[in-house]
Structure 1
Amino acid sequence: MKRLLAAAVATATLLLFPQPAHAADTSYRTLSGAHHPDWMAGVPAATSLAALSIPGTHETMSIHGGDYTQTQENFGDSGGTLTAQLNAGIRAIDIRARINDGNTFTIHHGAVYQVANFDDVLNRLSAFLTAHPGETVLLRFKHECTGETGSCSDATGQRSFPDIFDSYVAARPGLFWTPSVTRSSAAAVPTLGAVRGKVVLAVLNGPRGGRFADYGLAQFSGWADGSSTYVQDRYNVPTFAQIADKRTAVNNFLATTNTGDPGRIHVNFTSGSGALAPPYWVAGGALFQQGVNPYLLGRLNAGSFTRTGVMMLDFPGGGLINKIISYN
């Protein structure tokens, strides 16, 4: 009881007197400290995506909206932030969209428009993969709007989310790995050689996490809101006192990744937030709690794992990206 009371008092103090962002270090808010535009090019073509250790970003485009909405360093609107991440070595992205007038998608985090459209995302991906054909990018794409308080509402009178998505795919032949964007048949996990120069759709999620049709990879049929067999996404971190629980969830799933089915991609979200724990506290730390990012870098430096799986990060640091890639 005393510990909970102390945590509550400390949290209230932090909220009454807002804290600056935790100091940047090699694990946190130093994306530009990594530069790996061609790291996959040196990986053998026969390597399964499941065998790779892949740095990724949660809410990849979320750079606006304040402390409770921003999850990434701001390198520019209209997809500038995405390009910076790709050049740093990020190869798994998490994109959230609203249905807009004209049967188009705009990029949102909840109610906040992130000053980018889906065409911006696809333009950046196409330009990067054209310049770096040895690479691939794994995409989690989610319909963001629930129409509830704190979320966005879709424009009325538009086509369905999957139908609009199909129109984007059709307008860019060759950008997506076709088996992953076929509505009627989910795909097996490919080798890197089969998808070089392509975007691989991992899953197409509804606004509450349910999966649309058979888009994406078959192994993610159970990917819903939060965690599932191959996904750790314990995103609810009510206060900074629960950052320790998030660290434990990340560490436990790293163990699962290393002892689980080697033919399956494991996706480990390091992100989290709550009413008394904005994303930057969870990532970088707050008061006496170590952030998930420095904790993760320490665990990876300990060398007790053989692969990391896909790590979906908030505010990644260059050293953390470097370390994940080094596992390949």
Structure 2
Amino acid sequence: MFKRISLALAFVTLFSWTLTSVSSAYSSSNWMGSLPANTSLASLSIPGTHDSGALYEPINGTAKTQDLTIAQQLNIGVRFLDVRTRHYGNAFTIHHGAIYQNQNFDDVLNAVIGFLNSNPSETIIMSVKEEHTPANNTRSYEETFKSYVAKNPDKWLLTDHIPTLGEAKGKIVLLRRFDMSQTPYGINATAWQENTTFNIQNAAKMKIQDYFKVSDKNKKWTDVQNMYNEAKTQNPSWLYLNFTSGYDPGWIGIPNIRSVKDFLNPKVNSFFTTNTKGRFGVSVMDFIDEGTAAKIISTNF
């Protein structure tokens, strides 16, 4: 009898130790490093942010999309950044529409590269798009972008296909939403469509849900769920970008970002409370929080 009790206690101890080991195998700052190097970025569930640098607004609900800085987003596990840059004075400033976000592209890159230096097992997919009107420039947007890459060329992965974690480790994977005369140069997303769900098929195959002018919040949630379900069951080599973000145009035309966030974010959190394992693509969120990011990440393990 005592032998059985001892064996039972040993089993419980081993089981508890195993659970502890599994649960502590990764953290929000190094979760990609706990996955096999041959894992494609397309086969993951990845927390991301829409208008990642938009922390300021003149009127509540009109421009701010995040509470967390870029550095804070990366620390909670975000691995997809949506960076909007205005070409001004042969440099890039960070904008949401016409609103300057009190930071420049150098600030974003310093945060990202600093994070990668501290966490070399990770990679960041960075979508770069030109925003607002250019001014006071003597060179093209392309030339200015290349000048930023030239400062830290070893930190950029400019392949046109969707890489594996091993290929992308410690690097910024460019998802390019601006024209280049030199190609291939990053994952080509210049065929982006406005306010809809669409495919891009070139060296990298992608499906994007970006219904952002949200006059019908229930339709938006249906679109988000459809993308999650498709990502889990179809096109294993495709990169799914699922924007849970958007704004309510309002009856007098003043956009309201927070009303969409208040409706959608709890539903996303609930979805990942129920759907705890599988490949769900990139969730590109407004006002992401640590709890939701952790639930998205955990589906990979």
Deviation at residue 305 of structure 1 after TM alignment = 6.4
1:121 paired residue number: 108
Match of 2:214 in 1: 237
Which runs of structure 2 are paired with 1:268-307 in the superposition (5 Å)? 268-276=242-250, 278-284=256-262, 291-303=263-275, 306-307=278-279
Q: Distance in 1 between matches of 2:222 and 2:295?
A: 20
CA contact (8 A) 1:96 1:143 kept: yes
Q: CA deviation at 1:68?
A: 1.1
Residue 315 of structure 1 pairs with residue 287 of structure 2 = yes
Work out whether 1:223 is the aligned partner of 2:192.
yes
Per-residue CA deviation, residues 189-210 of structure 1 (Å, 9 max, x unaligned), is 111011110000122336xxx9
Aligned match for 1:67, one of 61, 71, 85: 61
Select the residue among 236, 239, 242 that pairs with 1:262.
236
Letter matched to residue 150 of structure 2: A
Q: Deviations over 1:134-154 (max 9, x none)?
A: 000001100012xxxxxxx21
Query: How many angstroms apart in 2 are the aligned matches of 1:222 and 1:90?
Result: 25
The alpha-carbon deviation at position 300 of structure 1 amounts to 2.2
Matches for 1:196-215 after TM superposition, within 5 Å = 196-205=169-178, 214-215=184-185
1:21-43 Cα distance to aligned partner (Å, 9 max, x none):
xxxxxxxxxxxxxx711111111
Distance 1:192 1:223 in 2: 25
What is the rounded CA distance, in whole Å, between the counterparts of 1:46 and 1:128 in structure 2? 22
In angstroms, what is the RMSD of aligned CA positions?
Answer: 2.0
Residues 136 and 200, structure 1, Cα contact 8 Å, conserved in 2: yes
Structure 1: any 5+ residue segments left out of the alignment? 1-34, 76-80, 146-152, 180-186, 285-290
1:40 is aligned to 32
Residue 162 of structure 1 and its aligned partner are, at CA, apart by 1.3
The answer to whether the 8 Å contact 2:213/2:249 transfers is no
Other structure's SS at 1:319 match: helix
Which runs of structure 1 show a deviation greater than 4 angstroms over 4 or more consecutive aligned residues?
Answer: 210-214
Taking structure 1 as the reference length, the TM-score comes to 0.75
Alignment partner of 1:50 is 2:38: no
Shift in CA distance, 68/200, structure 1 to aligned 2, threshold 3 Å: same
- What percent identity do the matched residue pairs reach? 38
Counterpart Cα distance in 2 of 1:249 and 1:305: 20
2:296 corresponds to: 324
Distance 1:197 1:311 in 2: 21
Q: Write the distance in 1 (CA, Å) between the matches of 2:181 and 2:277.
A: 31
Number of residue-to-residue matches in the alignment: 260
Please say if 1:166 is aligned against 2:142.
Answer: no
Counterpart residue identity of residue 101, structure 2: Q
* Number of the residue aligned with 2:98: 111
Q: Secondary structure at the match of 2:47?
A: strand
Structure showing greater radius of gyration is 2
Q: Is 2:247–2:260's contact at 8 Å kept on the other side of the alignment?
A: yes
From 73, 90, 96, the counterpart of 1:85: 73
SS at match of 1:55: strand
* Shift in alpha-carbon separation, 1:305–1:39, aligned structure 2, 3 A: closer
Residue 213 of structure 1: how far off its partner (Å): 5.8
Q: Name 1:16's counterpart in structure 2.
A: none
Q: Kindly tell me: are residues 312 and 59 of structure 1, through their superposed partners in 2, closer, same or farther at Cα, counting changes over 3 Å?
A: same
Contact 1:141/1:203 (<8 A) preserved = yes
Q: Does 1:136 align with 2:123?
A: yes
- Whose strand fraction is larger, Structure 1's or Structure 2's? 2
For the residue of structure 1 that corresponds to 2:48, the secondary structure is strand
- Over residues 48-83 of structure 1, what are the superposed CA-to-partner deviations in whole Å (9 max), with x where a residue is unaligned? 11111100000001011131111100x4xxxxx100
Letter in 2 for 1:69: A
Which runs of 5 or more structure 2 residues have no equivalent in the other structure?
Answer: 1-26, 200-206
Q: Tell me how far 1:216 sits from its aligned partner.
A: 2.4
